[in-house]
Structures are given as C-alpha cells and as structure tokens.
Structure 1
Amino acid sequence: MKHYIGIDIGGTSIKYAVFDEKATILFHHAVLTPIGNAGDQIPKALYGIIDQLMSVYDGVQGVGISTAGVVNPLSGAILFAGDTLPGYAGTKLKALLQQRYGLPVAVANDVNAAACGEWWKGAARGYGHFFCVTIGTGIGGALFSGGQLVHGRRFRAGEVGHALYDKRSGTTYEQRASMTALMQMAAAELPDFHGGGRELFDLARSGDAACAALIARWTEEVARGLAEITLVADPAMIVIGGAVSEQKEFLLDFIRAHLNRYVPAQFGHAPLVAAQLGNRAALYGAIYPFFYTEETERDSYGNRIDQSI
C-alpha cells in the first residue's frame, strides 16, 4: 500500500500523520516543538518523526511539510520566521529531507497548507475565492483566488498577523488576537482560572460571565482584522482555522457580534465558517501536492510561479 507522511510544524507543537492512497489518516500524533535554535532542532525532530514512521509504514511515496514562517514553495526553504522559531530562517527543509530520504518532498507555509486542505477536503470545497485565517500561537492568513493560492511576489501574501500595528501599545494584530494573547489576558484577569483555551471556552459555555466577557473583548480584536480582510479581498467566505476552530458556532457568534462595527453601515461582510478539518487542515494540505497532477512550471501546490524570483 502507498503511504504519505504529513507534518505540520507550529510554534508550540509538531503534528504529524500517515495517510493512505485515498488520503485517509491512518495514524496521527503530536509532540512539542523543540526549544532552542529552530534551524538545528526542527530538522532533528523531523528526522526522528520520519524515521519512526518509516519503520512502521512501508511504501512511503512522499513527505509533505506544513510549517510556520514564510516559505519559498519551489526551493522549500524558510525565508522568514518570527520570534517563536529563532534561527529558523534560511533552513532548507526540502533539500535536507530529500537528501536524507530520497523521496519527493513538498514544503509550504502552514496557513497556505490549511487553506489548500480546506479547499480540497473541507469547508471551502467549490469556492474559488476565499480567505483562510488560522488562530493559534500567532495568526496567519492565506488568500485562495482564481482557484489557486496567491503567494505574492516574495511569498508573503496573507501575512495578516503582522498587520494593524498599534503605536500606543506597540502590538500587532496577532499580539492582540491570537490564542497566545487570549491566554495572557486570562492569566492577568482571571486569577482563579487554571487551564487552556478549551477550558476557558467550556466555562463560558457553562455560563461563567467573567470568561464570556473576556472572550467577547478578545473576539473584538479578532473581528477588527477580519473586517480588514473583507474590505481588501472581498472573499466569498473566511475560513477560521487553528485549534480554536473546534469551538465552531460558539466562537463565530462572538466574532459576528463585532464585525459590523468595523465595516461601513449596510456594507456587509464575508460569511465566517469554521475549518471543517479543524486542526488537521494543514496536514491534508501538506500532502495535497502528491495527489495533484498538472503540467510543469508550477509549484507543488499547483500555482504558477515567476521563476525569476
């Protein structure tokens, strides 16, 4: 049987899965992202994961990598990474893995991969123009238009987490609206709360007024960014991904309550949907290139790339 390995590298954890030839997940697991110099530690972590999986599953046809950071999808190199992954920029993941395993390797930005996964197998099937936002350790974005990902001239299209910089607080959108920001708010304002994001939402669902009020203030920050996306890209829908997407309509209702305040009256906004594949969307997107057959002169996600870059 043919198998495919998908790996999703985030600032907090590395998720990985084995898929069969019908893109069904046979095995799924996660480990903490190693601390230290990411350029050294992440390749070592990947070697350990892939070695282990290949000792159990034969017939591996390819390895798909979804990763935080700005990625050149042609070379599979990391062009830029934030503070959560120090020393990661410049890491040539595709070359390292191909040299070690002699297998086809595809490397993509994690939100681009999530968008591709949702378009292939999830909430965005049938949509040629949509925006995907993942909310986690940070915030990432991806624009899918004309039936393909929009990379941008320097592969930085969709990097909304760095937008909406506020001079007074010295913060960006993701520093106010990520799950990291929400948990920092909870630590500062709810001294009796001990838990993570899931527990915070569970308490709000059960009627805890303080938790609900905190989430309401946080989702207003989330809504500000989504309003900007609506105004700039006019997508047919905005797909919300990341682990928090498991909250589905409970989360989306909080966000919708704020959205109209940040667009002109009667202007309207893009419909919001939770990622159907949840936190596994990027894993599906990571292996998608191995199921895609098209002409050459395209990157591994089926998008024409300017070879002069």
Structure 2
Amino acid sequence: MEFTDKAIGIDFGGSSIKMGVVLGKQIIAEAPVIIPKDYPIPTELIKAIADQVNALKEEHCDIKAIGCGVPGFVDTPTGRIHNLTNVPGWVDIPLRDLLSEKTGLPCVVENDANAMGIAEWKLGAGAGYQHLICLTLGTGVGGAVIVNNQIVRGSQFVAGELGQSSINYNGRVGAYNNPGALEDYIGNNEFAIDSQRAYLEAGIEKFIDDCSPAALDAAATAGCEVAIACWDDFARKLACTLANCCWLLNPEAFIIGGGLSNAGNTLFTPLRKHLAAQLSAPFRDHLKIIPAKFSNEAGIIGCAVLALEMADA
C-alpha cells in the first residue's frame, strides 16, 4: 500500500507526547519539542500539541491531516475521549474537534494500540495478512484485532483490549476489577517484581532495576537459569491469551511489538513452544508469530495512515 501525501502522527507515550510528519513509511520530520503530559488542565495540553502541529505546518505546508493515538477509550467516529489511562482530568474530551479548530487540519483520534496495529498491518510486518492480531508489550498490554481485512473496534469502539483478558479467574484483581488480567502479570513492572521474587527464592538478591526486561534478556542470553525460567513463565502466560485468541478468531499471524518484544528469541522461542502446545493443527500449523517492524515509531506512523485514509474518504 502506498501513501504519497504527508500527515502528522501524534503519539501519547507513557510520560510525553511525540509527533512527526510522515510520508509513506518514514517519519521525515519530528516536532521541535517533546511535550510532557503533566499539564494540569487538558485544554492547556491540547494547546501545546496544537502549537507543535502548527510549527510543523510552517516547514511542511502540504500536510493533509492529523492522526492522534491515545492510551484510553475513544469514541472513534467523533474523536471524543471517554478517558485516558493514568491521566487525570481527561474525561469526555472532544480532542478531534479541538485539535482541528486550533490547527485548521482534519483530525482523527484512535486508541494507541490500534494505531500501532494499523501501522504494522498496512505497512509493516503484517502487510498482506487479512486475519491478524497485533500486541504491544510494555507497561501494559495493548492489542489490535484485524478480521477479514478490517480492524475490529466493537459496538462502543473499545475492542482489542487483550491486556484485560483473564488468565486466572482467581488471580490478581486489576484496575477494572477483573481478576487475572494479563497485563497484571506481564506488564513491565509486574514482570520485574515477579522476577525479583524468583531470584530471591533461588537465594540471589537483586535490585528491581536489575530485573528490567533488558537486564533479564541479557542474563538469559548469558545462560542464567533464573532469568531463562522467568522468560519461560512470561511466555507461558502470554501464550494463554494468544491461544484464546486463536480458538476464537483463527488468525494468520500475531505481530508483537513494544519494549518487551526487544528480547527477541529470548521471548519468541518459548512463546512459540507454549502456544503450539495449546492448539490443534488447523489453528497451529500455519500460524506465524512475528516481531513488529516499526518499534517506537509505530504509533506515529499508524496515526498518520489513519489520518490520510480519513482525509481521502
């Protein structure tokens, strides 16, 4: 698929907001300022975002539209945010209309995991697949579901929250009062805490910083049995949710991105093993598990793709 016009993609990250001008698969210019998210009032943050968009417009006068990806529940047709994850005050905010008003550009707003999935499906590792599930693994677990070459948003446009699927109905109670939610076991923080505990049970004391995904990947690569076992347990938990997805939707492939996916075969080898063990041949034999292509750029690129599709509709 070719996109020959320019659009701005905006990605609400964990602590800051990044944006860039996208042409095709490339971010050709970034905003001069990375915007922190700790503005006390949503309208002040929206003004800061619009100011950076307008700065990019001065250098790229042929920008066609804006796409904005946010970590929360969005009414996609109206671009209205129901609420943002861990951002106080962002309840029932008409983000699309406010950004359009302040920049003079058409705007579309989407869940950030959907934006990542759209980038991978349209232009990245999932190009050519019609039945696809994309996951992003980080502080939380986000998902995007593509069925019959269409993204699935659901009746209220909030489908694909795979991190909230339960792997244990008697398990840890998450933010939405749902016991056993996947991301309460394999999110960055939870993975580090559980790994620190595993080291302690093996008679080894570790600081929590020594149990980050990057540190655990390095330790497993060096042959540390505790780290290898931690990654195996992580993969087994993730495979539980992926197996449920397979039995329900029979995808062709899973595309896995986010910071935790940087572990490569440390994660993907046990994940393939545990997932295969839970599936019968029609679901398993042609299934692909593929690392995402765009890494941290996926959100910006996916938002730009959505913006151009909206502008051309």
Q: Structure 1 length as normaliser, TM-score?
A: 0.82
Structure 1: 5+ residue runs without aligned partners?
297-309
Pick closer, same or farther for the CA change 1:13–1:224 going to 2, 3 Å.
farther
Select between 51-60 and 4-13 the one with higher mean Cα deviation: 51-60
Alignment map for 1:184-223 (pairs within 5 Å):
184-190=193-199, 191-192=206-207, 194=209, 196-223=212-239
Distance 1:293 1:78 in 2: 18
CA deviation after TM superposition for structure 1 residue 131, in Å: 0.9
- Tell me if structure 2 keeps the 8 A contact 1:249–1:274: no
Alignment map for 1:249-268 (pairs within 5 Å):
249-263=265-279, 268=284
Q: Which residue of 2 aligns with 1:172?
A: 181
Q: Structure 2 length as normaliser, TM-score?
A: 0.81
Alignment map for 1:1-309 (pairs within 5 Å):
3-20=6-23, 22-28=24-30, 31=34, 34-35=37-38, 39=42, 42-47=45-50, 49-54=52-57, 56-82=59-85, 84-164=86-166, 166-170=169-173, 171-190=180-199, 191-192=206-207, 194=209, 196-263=212-279, 268=284, 270-292=287-309, 296=313
- Tell me if structure 1 keeps the 8 A contact 2:133–2:144: yes
Distance 2:219 2:284 in 1: 31
Pick closer, same or farther for the CA change 1:37–1:180 going to 2, 3 Å.
farther
Aligned AA (1:218) = F
- Tell me if structure 2 keeps the 8 A contact 1:136–1:242: yes
Aligned AA (1:248) = G
CA deviation after TM superposition for structure 1 residue 88, in Å: 2.4
Aligned AA (1:66) = G
Q: Which residue of 2 aligns with 1:299?
A: none
Distance 2:108 2:62 in 1: 17
Select between 116-125 and 71-80 the one with higher mean Cα deviation: 71-80
CA deviation after TM superposition for structure 1 residue 87, in Å: 2.9
Deviations 1:221-268 (A, max 9, x none): 111111111111110111112122333333211212322444468863
Distance 1:178 1:105 in 2: 31
Pick closer, same or farther for the CA change 1:67–1:49 going to 2, 3 Å.
same
Pick closer, same or farther for the CA change 1:206–1:47 going to 2, 3 Å.
farther
SS at structure 2 position matched to 1:85: coil
Distance 1:207 1:263 in 2: 29
Q: CA RMSD in A?
A: 3.0
Identity within the alignment, %: 27
CA deviation after TM superposition for structure 1 residue 208, in Å: 2.8
Residue-pair matches, total: 294
CA deviation after TM superposition for structure 1 residue 51, in Å: 4.5
Select between 59-68 and 25-34 the one with higher mean Cα deviation: 25-34
Distance 1:209 1:287 in 2: 43
Aligned AA (1:245) = S
SS at structure 2 position matched to 1:90: strand
Q: Which residue of 2 aligns with 1:307?
A: none
Deviations 1:164-215 (A, max 9, x none): 0633432411111222322333455552463543233223223233322222
Select between 127-136 and 54-63 the one with higher mean Cα deviation: 54-63
Distance 2:41 2:185 in 1: 25
- Tell me if structure 2 keeps the 8 A contact 1:11–1:33: no
Pick closer, same or farther for the CA change 1:145–1:2 going to 2, 3 Å.
closer
CA deviation after TM superposition for structure 1 residue 69, in Å: 1.1
- Tell me if structure 1 keeps the 8 A contact 2:152–2:159: yes
Distance 2:38 2:235 in 1: 30
